Amino acid sequence: MQRSPLDGITILDLTIWQNGPWATVMLSDMGANVIKIEDPDKGDPGRNMAAAGANVTRKVSHYFQTMNRNKRSMTLNLKHPEGKKLFLEMAKKADVVAQNFRVGVVEKLGIDYEAVKKVNPKIVYASVSGFGPKGPDAKDGVFDILGQGRGGLLWLLNLGEAEPIYRSYAGLSDQTGAITLAYGILLAIISRERFGVGQHMQTSQLGGQLMLQALAINSYLMNGDLPLTRPRTQNGNPLFNIYKCGDEKWVALGCVQSDRWWPGVCNALGLNHIKDDPRFATMGERSKNCVEVIKIMDKTFATKTREEWLKLLKANDVICGPVQSYADLPNDPQVIANEYITTVKHPIHGDLREVGVPLKLSETPGHARKTAPEFGEHTEEVLQEFGYSWEQIAKLREHGAI
């Protein structure tokens, strides 16, 4: 039987929406036993996002499916005394508790780190918030647009625009918060294995945003430099730019060391007659005359299709690639060869194509095994695994604890 890196690791997942659930998806892809704990009355609000495809006119809620594959769902009323007691009993046998409530909520519920630590000193208790556990705005709620706004990404994506527009439907702030949460959980698990201690790991969307943009932010912190707002036609390095081809598709050139690649670019584009032109022969001169260079390259790229140009550029060992839309990705040979898009069987909707695991481990690989769970689908199954009898489960349900 094939093993995965996190086989045997049990995670009690209290997270909702995106920045928490995506972290636990990443861990579930690697074999973790993720138990999604949902409120019996409301469930994860991500289940009911009409804008994300949960309404009856859509095939499937891609939002909830994306954020919860491989998990099992159980209902548990954490505000009920028996529900709280049940959670702490489960925490005794768990490896990780993950939560993304607002700062202070788990303390009110009596299921915070200190409470869980009393019953399981080796627990990894992972919290992700909007803006960090300390500071005047620590208790503020957050969604992706606020995370991007606070962390500078919304500003960055709108450089040169008259007014800011929220462009990232992909949820970049949520996703980076999730990645830092998963990263922190893994570090805490390793620390426990090495040193025998559990701990409280805390991160935030704001922290993740700064990490994502570290290079640009450090440029400002160290030198006072801000990202350039020049349009494409005034790019100081014409060989680190994008160009529209004759079929209206775009090619990206990624030649940072432009003097090294200039001869190859000229040969590929049929521009050898300007290769040694003193206005363009060196990186410095091309930068001074970038508008003219780009104008020449624009006219040239417009004469062939993207596929034709990519073949010519690669034949000359030029670092280049396509600028793709989402519609291009499923047919990208690299995406296909590396299984970056995978297929999971849904019991109602059949085969669902979705983003797969972005890394390969030769001996303990991860993979998307199953679709997101139905609401409370595994309540009885999970409780039996934790030692509860059918009679006890029936009483918990009768009392409103599950």
pLDDT in tens, 3-13: 999 999 999 99
What pLDDT sits at residue 265? Answer: 98
CB-count exposure of residue 390 (10 Å: 0-12, 13-18, 19+): exposed
pTM of the prediction? 0.92
Domains of the chain, by residue range, sit at 10-215+359-398, 232-323
* Homologous superfamily (CATH) for 10-215+359-398: Crotonobetainyl-coa:carnitine coa-transferase; domain 1 (3.40.50.10540)
pLDDT band at residue 61 using 50, 70 and 90 as cut-offs: confident
Q: Under a CB-based contact definition with an 8 Å cutoff, are residues 125 and 198 in contact?
A: yes
User: Percentage of the chain with pLDDT > 70?
Assistant: 97
Tokens, residue 160: 């040169």
**Taking residues 214-220, what's their average pLDDT?**
94
Residue 168 pLDDT exceeds 80: no
User: Percentage of the chain with pLDDT > 90?
Assistant: 86
Q: Say yes or no: do domains 10-215+359-398 and 232-323 share a fold.
A: no
- Residues sharing a CB contact under 8 Å with residue 59, sequence separation 6 or more, in sequence order: 53, 349
Residue 162 pLDDT exceeds 80: no
Average model confidence (pLDDT) across the chain:
94
Place of tokens 């972290």: 23
Gap between the Cα atoms of 225 and 110, Å rounded = 47
- pLDDT digit string, tens, across residues 247-286: 999 999 999 999 999 999 999 999 999 999 999 999 999 9
* Homologous superfamily (CATH) for 232-323: formyl-coa transferase, domain 3 (3.30.1540.10)
Residue 167 pLDDT exceeds 80: no
Residue 357 pLDDT exceeds 50: yes
CA distances 82 to 78, 188, 383, Å, are: 8, 29, 14
